[in-house]
Amino acid sequence: MAEKITKRDINYSEWYNDLVIQSGLAENSAVRGCMVIKPHGWAIWENMKSILDKKFKDTGHVNASFPLLIPKSFLEQEEGHAEGFAKECAVVTHYRLKTHPDKKGKLIVDPESRLEEELIIRPTSETIIWNCYRGWIQSYRDLPILINQWANVMRWEMRTRLFLRTAEFHWQEGHTAHATQEEAVEETLKMLDVYADFMENYMAVPVIKGVKTANERFAGALDTYCVEAMMQDGKALQAGTSHFLGQNFAKAFDVKFLNKEGKLEYAWATSWGVSTRMMGALIMAHSDDDGLVIPPRLAPLHVVIVPIFKNAEQLAAITEKADAIIKELKALNIIVKFDDSDTAKPGWKFAEYELKGVPVRVAMGMRDVENNTVEIARRDTKEKTTVANENLGAYIQDLLEKIQQNMYDKALAFRTANTFVIDTWDAFTAQIEKGGFIYAHWDGTSETEDKIKELTKATIRCIPMDGVEEAGTCVYSGKPSNKRVLFARAY
Amino acid sequence: MAEKITKRDINYSEWYNDLVIQSGLAENSAVRGCMVIKPHGWAIWENMKSILDKKFKDTGHVNASFPLLIPKSFLEQEEGHAEGFAKECAVVTHYRLKTHPDKKGKLIVDPESRLEEELIIRPTSETIIWNCYRGWIQSYRDLPILINQWANVMRWEMRTRLFLRTAEFHWQEGHTAHATQEEAVEETLKMLDVYADFMENYMAVPVIKGVKTANERFAGALDTYCVEAMMQDGKALQAGTSHFLGQNFAKAFDVKFLNKEGKLEYAWATSWGVSTRMMGALIMAHSDDDGLVIPPRLAPLHVVIVPIFKNAEQLAAITEKADAIIKELKALNIIVKFDDSDTAKPGWKFAEYELKGVPVRVAMGMRDVENNTVEIARRDTKEKTTVANENLGAYIQDLLEKIQQNMYDKALAFRTANTFVIDTWDAFTAQIEKGGFIYAHWDGTSETEDKIKELTKATIRCIPMDGVEEAGTCVYSGKPSNKRVLFARAY
């Protein structure tokens, strides 16, 4: 319940954790860093998946499934990739348990079942997929390959947080192979746009598209593009990435094709992914001290109808009215629940559905029955209005669209109010303590980037794609710069 | 291509393997026993998932996600369960790799990253889920819990076959908790019916519902119900199971609730699952020497239109006609592809789409354009018919239904022709060599069951639920029996 949730201005981090648990989205499991995604959380993730999956298919991609386990030697093939992931790999070394020789009922690892080569649980699948692609690609006619995989992956993180950073997480990973560099770059950017479109138009979270600096690039990529969103505490969250991998993986796994000119050439690669981390972004961008606020386009339940009654006769009268409304809403593909359970009072139900983030609550009492009205409460603004039953379906449909738009507008206004163009080091360090996004000049060196991070905990989130050329001097080193980059502290 | 596929009557097993690979459903990976499910195979599995998922939701279930890894000690909690799965567990013992001290570019397992307690990759999730349920269940008001999970699981099988038996496989596992035994048994049977309905009405595979003998029960179950299907070689394939688990897991994980009478009681459990193994059943039940035969309700592509043309002018004339047909088909939710690629000849395309199992092929040449007709070929019977373009959408829609029904009827007729009621041991042993299902009396002992298996490789597939009481004598021991059971060799 909401009273168990720490207020945002007391402790934002505790608010987040309390909210995830109290609203029934997820909880920690007995396995360190691995979470249980509960039905309410999984239902939102399923909605995200289904919308994204359609977008991937509409852009020509197909799904497939590659093994969970990857031979250790595969990771060694691409040096940068190995460096990036080796330190956080769960390693399978044996394939059998046996009963303990002395302790009844206990199991031990059977030492005779040791694997010749250790297997790692995929932290990402470039290596095993490009090892397959070698067999699938001979000619330019076999290209492009546009494959996506919905999968679980594992990275043994030391500090984990529900949804934001977990050892096991769920994601999709697109892995495409192309005949030319141009086509691969085009694909990389196309999928970045798909992500941005999804985040803005479904998650109601405005994002900034940009390219990562060399420091922040995906291990094995030539360029990593990203979408960055602002959370309510002013910190940034990287919500999705799209990588141009060049020919690195084709070279590592010897994937060559005969081009149109009859010459052997290495294939060009991209990979791109979003994960259950987006759930964290969704929660932190919109929710409040009373619970979740879920944008209608992702909500598992759009409308809850709560009858207010004293006896069975009153409930019957309300139910009759409600049935007509439910029918009207269902015909408009609006997902509605009539909660006539008698185990909880209306006030408790109101709080519960607020906690769960249901966008629209409809309350119906006897006076409403007499007046042919209902009381409608918006989750986003908490406004209550009495509305006539006539054309209520259309009214609610319109209201859901308004809520969706309002949530986006509010998030955008918040980001705008917390975004600063800064030119001096003093102003930079002062602002970063208060949070927010900072556009500042940077001299382009990793040394300066590292130094700024060390001094302020702020990182370069990206070099924004819509940034304009502009002469300036680096906010830290004073050296010349021709473009502002986006700084922030980040999740 | 089909010419690379071994004929069924030469070697059924090779036919199966060739077909899976040549039709692009799946292939073996670099990791022993783990397969790559390719786009065509995954598209069929996605259709299966989406139909089943809707059926689960329609029967009141919700989805959730539990961890991939399970602490070794969890497996020890339920003795029968541990015995059943310990011997085939992939074990994670470490969480980090590091660079080899001597060999540049090589990685080794970091010995300092040894886990205090080993983790196994879930072979099934009863233990980790019931460990969660302990925190979720306090009162009868918290019950029932009706949760399903779509997941990958791992059982380290020594002999693997694509789809039929792989180390990693994909499945769904339902895990429900109930306040009473009656309700749990009802759930077990309800889900068995959901599976049978799916297999018969979507996969077009007739099944026999029954209960397993003690020997063949799921490790940890009190009763295992199953659906058994006949493959084209007369062998049985268990396509799905539904388990009544009693209070075993509630006791193992101490999951108690206050019942309506205010007394603490252990919760009652079921679990039920179907896996990518169903893909194997689908292939082996219907396909032929030319390739896959996919029932329309599961086919990723219903209709392919192949134009037969000599030049661009002819193609343009055919395309104009085809566009109208495509529009009509799409309006009927029929998935259609127009293959006007000029890289392959029509004959090659015909063979390719037969291999892939597309239910309906439409060929259009210049004569068809003149006559306002098309040539339609059914994949299931190979019949070709010339049909007028008028009302072609309705014709094809009807044809798809006919194909679906015909595939089921054919499979049922095959099963009927290969099912035998047998009363003597000589007839039993002679028939089992030839294949097929045998209904015979059995004395009810594990000893006889084991002996029959040893002598004939036949197992009791199930005690059929629709079997009638009938006095008889055991086909092997001659002891009295009151019901026939179903024997067969099985996958």
Summarised one tens digit per residue, pLDDT across range B162-197 is 999 999 999 999 999 999 999 999 999 999 999 999
Rounded to the nearest 5°, which phi and psi values hold at B166? Answer: -130, 155
B224's CB contacts (< 8 A; 6+ apart) are: B211, B212, B216, B217, B218, B241, B242, B243, B244
Distance (Å, whole) CA A389 – CA A393: 9
CA trace torsion B73, B77, B80, B82 (10° rounding): -10
What does the buried/exposed string (b/e) look like for B96-127 if buried means 16 or more CB atoms within 10 Å of the residue's CB?
bbebeeeeeeebebbeebebeebbbbbbbbbb
Distance (Å, whole) CA A314 – CA B56: 34
Measure CB to CB from residue A68 to each of B30, B72, B152 and give the nearest one: B152
Distance (Å, whole) CA B291 – CA B476: 40
**Does pLDDT of B405 surpass 90?**
yes
Residue A441, token pair as written in the block:
């000049």
Band of residue B422 on the pLDDT scale cut at 50, 70, 90:
very high
Per CATH, B26-70+124-286 and B296-403 having the same topology is answered no
Q: A155 near A128, Cβ under 8 Å?
A: no
For residue B141, which residues of chain A lie inside 8 Å, CB to CB?
Answer: 343
A72's CB contacts (< 8 A; 6+ apart) are: A91, A117, A118, A119, A120, B97, B107, B109
Q: What is the mean pLDDT of residues B373-391?
A: 97
Measure CB to CB from residue A107 to each of B75, B128, B154 and give the nearest one: B75
Q: What is the mean pLDDT of residues B23-33?
A: 96
Report the relative pairing of strands B69-71 and A69-71 from DSSP bridges.
Answer: unpaired
User: Is the C-alpha dihedral spanning A448, A450, A451, A457 positive or negative?
Assistant: positive
Q: Do B64 and A37 touch (CB under 8 A)?
A: yes
Measure CB to CB from residue A63 to each of B46, B68, B88 and give the nearest one: B46
Q: What is the mean pLDDT of residues B194-216?
A: 97
Fold of the domain spanning B419-488: Translation Initiation Factor IF3 (3.30.110)
Residue B227, token pair as written in the block:
């659906």
pTM (2 d.p.): 0.97
Please name the residues between 98 and 137 in chain B that touch chain A, using a CB distance below 8 Å: 98-99, 105-107, 109, 113, 118-121, 128, 131-132, 135
Provide the shortest C-alpha distance from residue A448 to chain B (in Å). 29
A344 has a chain B CB within 8 A of its CB:
no
B146's CB contacts (< 8 A; 6+ apart) are: B59, B60, B61, B62, B174, B176, B187
Q: Do A128 and B30 touch (CB under 8 A)?
A: yes
Residue A11 host element (H or E): none
Cα B283 to Cα A197, B23, B349, B366, B405: the distances in Å are 39, 11, 21, 36, 17
Report the relative pairing of strands B303-307 and B360-364 from DSSP bridges.
Answer: parallel
Q: Look at residue B79 in the predicted model and tell me its pLDDT.
A: 86
Q: Do B91 and A70 touch (CB under 8 A)?
A: no
Q: Do B31 and A128 touch (CB under 8 A)?
A: yes
CATH superfamily membership of B296-403: Anticodon-binding domain (3.40.50.800)
A31 has a chain B CB within 8 A of its CB:
yes
DSSP string, B322-371: HHHHHHHHHHTT--EEE---SSS-HHHHHHHHHHHT-SEEEEE-HHHHHH
A90 has a chain B CB within 8 A of its CB:
yes
Band of residue B83 on the pLDDT scale cut at 50, 70, 90:
confident
A108's CB contacts (< 8 A; 6+ apart) are: A97, A98, A99, A100, A101
Mean pLDDT of chain B: 96
Residue of chain A whose alpha carbon sits nearest to that of B78: A105
Instruction: With CA atoms as reference, report the closest residue to A490 among A248, A237, A316, A244.
Output: A237
Residue of chain A whose alpha carbon sits nearest to that of B69: A31
ipTM: 0.96
The percent of residues in chain A predicted with pLDDT above 70, rounded, is 99
What does the buried/exposed string (b/e) look like for B177-186 if buried means 16 or more CB atoms within 10 Å of the residue's CB?
bbbeeebbbe
Distance (Å, whole) CA B301 – CA B40: 10
Per-residue model confidence as pLDDT tens digits over A220-250: 999 999 999 999 999 999 999 999 999 999 9
| Residue predicted with more confidence, A3 or A392 | A392
Q: Give the domain ranges of chain A.
A: 2-70+124-286, 298-414, 419-488
CATH 3.40.50.800 for domain A298-414: yes
For residue A82, which residues of chain B lie inside 8 Å, CB to CB?
Answer: 105, 107
Instruction: With CA atoms as reference, report the closest residue to A46 among B49, B442, B89, B332.
Output: B49
Q: Mutate which of B29, B96, B97 to disrupt the A interface (most A C-beta within 10 Å)?
A: B97
Per-residue model confidence as pLDDT tens digits over A295-334: 999 999 999 999 999 999 999 999 999 999 999 999 999 9
Per-residue model confidence as pLDDT tens digits over A5-28: 999 999 999 999 999 999 999 999
3-state DSSP assignment of residue A155: coil
**Does pLDDT of A273 surpass 90?**
yes
DSSP string, B10-39: T-HHHHHHHHHHHTTSEEE-SSTT-EEE-H
Measure CB to CB from residue A72 to each of B97, B113, B121 and give the nearest one: B97
Instruction: With CA atoms as reference, report the closest residue to A389 among A326, A295, A462, A458.
Output: A326
Mean pLDDT of chain A: 96
**Does pLDDT of A1 surpass 70?**
no
Distance (Å, whole) CA B490 – CA B235: 5
3-state DSSP assignment of residue A160: coil
Neighbours of A375 (CB within 10 A): 17
Integer Rg of chain A from CA: 26
Chain mean position to CA B152: 14
3-state DSSP assignment of residue A295: coil
B459's CB contacts (< 8 A; 6+ apart) are: B216, B449, B453, B487, B488, B489, B490
Residue B177 host element (H or E): strand B168-178
Q: Do A119 and B31 touch (CB under 8 A)?
A: yes
**Cα Dmax for chain A:** 83
Q: Look at residue B194 in the predicted model and tell me its pLDDT.
A: 98
B479 has a chain A CB within 8 A of its CB:
no
| Residue predicted with more confidence, A197 or A104 | A197
Band of residue A2 on the pLDDT scale cut at 50, 70, 90:
low
Instruction: With CA atoms as reference, report the closest residue to B149 among A48, A39, A164.
Output: A39
Tokens 């490790």 map to which residue? Answer: B219
Provide the shortest C-alpha distance from residue A80 to chain B (in Å). 10
Q: How many residues does chain B have?
A: 491
The CA-CA-CA angle for residues B6, B7, B10, to 5°, reads 95
Per-residue model confidence as pLDDT tens digits over B283-317: 999 999 999 999 999 999 999 999 999 999 999 99
Instruction: With CA atoms as reference, report the closest residue to A307 among A298, A299, A316.
Output: A316
Q: Do A64 and B37 touch (CB under 8 A)?
A: yes
CATH superfamily membership of B26-70+124-286: Bira Bifunctional Protein; Domain 2 (3.30.930.10)
Band of residue B235 on the pLDDT scale cut at 50, 70, 90:
very high
Band of residue B2 on the pLDDT scale cut at 50, 70, 90:
low
DSSP string, B401-452: HHHHHHHHHHHHHHHHHTEEE--SHHHHHHHHHH--EEEEE--S-HHHHHHH
**Does pLDDT of B111 surpass 90?**
yes
For residue A113, which residues of chain B lie inside 8 Å, CB to CB?
Answer: 91
Tokens 């509305």 map to which residue? Answer: A387
Distance (Å, whole) CA B65 – CA A42: 7
Provide the shortest C-alpha distance from residue B36 to chain A (in Å). 5
Band of residue A4 on the pLDDT scale cut at 50, 70, 90:
confident
Residue B363, token pair as written in the block:
């060929």
Residue A173, token pair as written in the block:
């990973």
Provide the shortest C-alpha distance from residue A453 to chain B (in Å). 26
**Does pLDDT of A90 surpass 90?**
yes
The class level of CATH for A2-70+124-286 reads alpha beta
